[in-house]
Amino acid sequence: MNKIYTLPCLYGIGFYHNKNSAISYVDQSGKSHLVSQKNKVKFIYHNFVFLRGLEFLLFGLYFFFKNIIKMPFEFKQNGTVKSVANSLNISFKYVLYAFLFLVGTIIALLLFGYVPIRLAVIITAYSSSAVLNRFVVAVLKIALLYIVLLSVRYLTPFRQFYRFNACGNMVTFDDIHRPTNFLNYLVFGFCFSFFVVSMVGLTANSFYKPLVNLLISLFCFTISYEILLLLENSKFTWLRKSCIITSFLVNERPTNTEVYISMSAFNEVKFMNTNKRQALDSQNFKDGEVSFSSIYAESKLKLKNAGIDDDSELDFLLCEVLNTKRGKLRLITKIKSSQKKQIEEAIKRRISGEPITKIFGHTNFYGYDFIVTKDVLSPRQETEILVETTLKHIKGKMRVLDLCTGSGIIAVCIAKKSDASVVATDISSRALEVAQKNADKNNVKITFKKSDLFLNLKSVKKFDIIISNPPYIPTSDIEGLDVEVKDYDPHISLDGGDDGLRFYVDIIESAPQFLNKNGMIFFEVGKGQSKDVSKLLEKDFENIKIVKDYSGINRVVYATKKTKRK
């Protein structure tokens, strides 16, 4: 079942998906707890219209009362209730909940049954229309429900309850529509059933009338579920927002605390889809231990608030600290306090603008691991397009030159994925040291030379391919770059001169004399530079091609050396 449900929970929130449930709540001391389990109870009618609405109603009520009973809350014991509990040999908490439920039911019957009818009689005293009387009763019932819900929202326990409920409307799985929220559905269903039952106005005898009204109400709830499902999944924004007519009654803007606690439960039920993952109860944790779902939620929230909303980045960070692979990350149920501190420190550094590659000193590129220091540019994912495009044109033991190699990632990938003989140059001695370490780390042989482009290559044999990812940021644009780039990448690896084309001009001017017949040249270019670089290539190169990156931006320009130079 590709559906997630948000379910009510006392001082917290619960999520249910594919027989997995997770509840996160706050106890009386203010400490948060997380409990997850694989349920025997499952939705079996989720694909059947009408039946699924009734099933959701019954399951939501079951989930709510089950978890109220299970939660470890202590109550001041009333003498009468305590004596009843003792005489029946039942837990005081169970008797108290039963008593409150009974009182609540009686009040509800009076408030939404007797009172509206009596008021309607007074209001329609001068009218003989039965339809008008029923309509007034319906309106009064709905109005009273609105008044009650609007009144209790000012009570502290209910305000927190509604804040948690609102969190359930904010989260989604990547492949799932917004969760169906039980409280939103419950209020909408009550309003709809109040109206229908009142308008039907059965005149059956007193024995059958409650039963028939109950059946009509249940049918109204099934209709309500289908209506909400259509509205929530509508492609029209105004239809999706129309749910607020009733949902605002049980929702209030959450604080970061409720969002964090809710995200913990949401992450847990999401991770529970991994079959080998074990259920947990944070009450059984040792001192200092914390659930992985909680630290994941806290970290994600901090990064998101700092404008960093990339799950792959967070996963990489966690894998580094916890020394595990990404595929096994979701199997972790709890972590130690020392690991929590390491994660918090890494998150703090990331929020300050330091890239993850520099925090941990290495990164993954094209499936290989590379050392990254402050002396080299942190590799970008789009550079993989440059590598991929070049590899398609390498045949046998060609000679390849990588200009401005930096950390050596391009040269290493070419050497790993082909039989080419690779030479790599850079003007920075420190960058070349890092590049050599990366070559050794990945077990490839590359000839590294310190050179300002072709300056120290006069006596070297010609090449079949020249590849380069040179500095291409215009000088005036560097200060406007993200902190993680301008403050943590060497400016020598960024600055491409006044127009960003300085290195392309120099490379293209000298490249033909270092290329064999039919030799090729490959460049990575910045956004908006592909036409300018292509124009520069036209003098000595032909068959100029442009390749887009993953975002649809022109990222790679390559061409073939002309047979005869003009």
Specify the pairing of strand 447-450 against strand 421-426: parallel
pLDDT at 46 exceeding the cut of 80: no
In a domain, 159, yes or no: yes
Specify the pairing of strand 5-9 against strand 12-17: antiparallel
Rounded to whole angstroms, the Cα distance separating 302 from 42 reads 34
- Span 460-485, average pLDDT: 87
- Span 481-508, average pLDDT: 84
pLDDT single digits (tens) 56-108: 888 888 888 777 766 665 555 555 545 655 665 666 556 666 766 777 778 88
One domain for residues 304 and 439:
no
Selection from 27-41, 281-295, 516-530 with the highest mean pLDDT: 516-530
Domain end point (choices 234, 250, 266): 250
One domain for residues 119 and 24:
yes
One domain for residues 331 and 382:
no
One domain for residues 335 and 387:
no
Rounded to whole angstroms, the Cα distance separating 83 from 70 reads 22
| Cβ-based neighbours of 50, under 8 Å, separated by 6 or more | 219, 222, 223, 226
pLDDT single digits (tens) 530-559: 999 999 999 999 999 999 998 899 999 999
Query: Do residues 520 and 544 lie in contact, with contact meaning Cβ atoms separated by under 8 Å?
Result: no
One domain for residues 329 and 238:
no
Select the more confidently predicted residue: 170 or 381.
381
Residue 38's DSSP bridge partners are 20
Domain end point (choices 319, 337, 352): 352
Q: What is the pLDDT of residue 205?
A: 56
The mean pLDDT of the chain is 85
Q: Which SS3 state, helix, strand or coil, does residue 57 take?
A: helix
pLDDT at 1 exceeding the cut of 50: no
Q: What is the pLDDT of residue 497?
A: 86
Overall number of domains in the chain: 3
Domain range enclosing 188: 5-250
CA 394 and chain centroid, separation: 39
| Cβ-based neighbours of 347, under 8 Å, separated by 6 or more | 299, 302, 303, 317
One domain for residues 334 and 245:
no
In a domain, 412, yes or no: yes
Q: What is the pLDDT of residue 410?
A: 96
pLDDT at 565 exceeding the cut of 70: no
In a domain, 363, yes or no: no
One domain for residues 45 and 108:
yes
One domain for residues 72 and 162:
yes
- Span 23-36, average pLDDT: 84
Sign, CA torsion 149/155/161/165: positive
Q: Which backbone phi and psi does 200 adopt, to 5 degrees?
A: -65, -45
Continuous H helices in 201-241: 209-232, 237-241
pLDDT at 445 exceeding the cut of 70: yes
Q: What is the pLDDT of residue 179?
A: 57
**Which residue is associated with the tokens 């789009």?**
382
- Span 432-452, average pLDDT: 95
In a domain, 487, yes or no: yes
In a domain, 225, yes or no: yes
In a domain, 423, yes or no: yes
pLDDT at 126 exceeding the cut of 60: yes
One domain for residues 126 and 161:
yes
CATH of the domain at 393: 3.40.50.150
pLDDT single digits (tens) 211-263: 888 889 999 999 999 998 888 777 888 887 888 888 888 888 888 888 888 88
pTM here is 0.74
- Exposed (0-12), middle (13-18) or buried (19+): which is 203, by Cβ within 10 Å? exposed
One domain for residues 474 and 507:
yes
Percentage above 70 pLDDT, the chain:
89
pLDDT single digits (tens) 130-188: 889 889 999 999 999 999 999 888 888 788 888 888 888 776 544 444 557 888 899 99
One domain for residues 17 and 83:
yes
Kindly state the tokens that stand for 207: 């024995």
Q: What is the pLDDT of residue 174?
A: 44
Domain end point (choices 250, 277, 312): 250
Q: What is the pLDDT of residue 79?
A: 56
Contacts 24+ apart (CB under 8 A), 500-505: 500/472, 500/473, 500/474, 500/526, 500/529, 501/472, 501/529, 501/532, 501/533, 501/536, 502/471, 503/404, 503/453, 503/468, 503/470, 503/471, 503/472, 504/470, 504/472, 504/529, 504/532, 504/533, 504/536, 505/536
Q: What is the pLDDT of residue 176?
A: 43
Select the more confidently predicted residue: 82 or 337.
337
One domain for residues 295 and 223:
no
pLDDT at 564 exceeding the cut of 70: no
Query: Do residues 509 and 536 lie in contact, with contact meaning Cβ atoms separated by under 8 Å?
Result: no
Select the more confidently predicted residue: 58 or 459.
58
Q: What is the pLDDT of residue 202?
A: 63
Select the more confidently predicted residue: 111 or 100.
111
Rounded to whole angstroms, the Cα distance separating 269 from 19 reads 9
Rounded to whole angstroms, the Cα distance separating 375 from 430 reads 6
pLDDT at 9 exceeding the cut of 50: yes
In a domain, 230, yes or no: yes
* Confidence class for position 383, pLDDT limits 50, 70, 90: very high
In a domain, 358, yes or no: no
Percentage above 90 pLDDT, the chain:
39
